[in-house]
Structure 1
């Protein structure tokens, strides 16, 4: 598993993710916003409160996503 060491909320419900090897990727979170516990992230203030815990992203509302899934489904940041 590639651990995430930094997550920055971007406009339009995207996350800029930095992985332990320095690779950066962008994850569009919009498709998640209508599903289960992720509906809480529709509140932009909650979304912006993203944190890193155990190598993946999470929010205070006990919402998290597997780092492997984020790595596989996010887009590599172009230099």
Structure 2
């Protein structure tokens, strides 16, 4: 089920804070998700990477060169990390 991203902000290096429409939020290391080749090559320049934008119509993040990421994949990562952290609690 698609959950739209409603907020994005650059943290450091290739880390992005993401918030989804259902309130789930977390930090995703984009360098662990993509290879900096093809349309993603320009994102290796950290200054360009920081220009990430939110496209509310698509419910995801993108860069001006046309690179974007599947919000379902990002949501899975955020919720998986959240669930892992919950499992660590006594």
Q: State the TM-score bracket (shorter-chain normalisation).
A: 0.7 to 0.9
1:63 aligns with 2:67: yes
- Structure with the larger strand share: 1
Structure 1-normalised TM-score?
A: 0.85
Of 36, 40, 43, which aligns to 2:42? 40
| Counterpart contact for 1:33–1:41, Cα < 8 Å | no
Segments of structure 1 that go 5 or more residues without pairing to the other structure are none
Any idea what the Cα deviations from partners look like across 1:41-69, whole Å, max 9, x if unmatched?
11112111111112101011100011001
3-state DSSP class of the match of 1:70?
Answer: helix
3-state DSSP class of the match of 1:64?
Answer: coil
Aligned to 2:4: 3
User: Residues of 1 paired with 2:15 and 2:74: CA distance?
Assistant: 12
Any idea what the Cα deviations from partners look like across 1:12-65, whole Å, max 9, x if unmatched?
201100101221111111132433211211111211111111210101110001
- Kindly name which structure, 1 or 2, has the bigger radius of gyration based on alpha carbons: 2
**Number of aligned pairs?**
77
3-state DSSP class of the match of 2:13?
Answer: helix
Give the stretch that moved more between structures: 33-42 or 60-69: 33-42
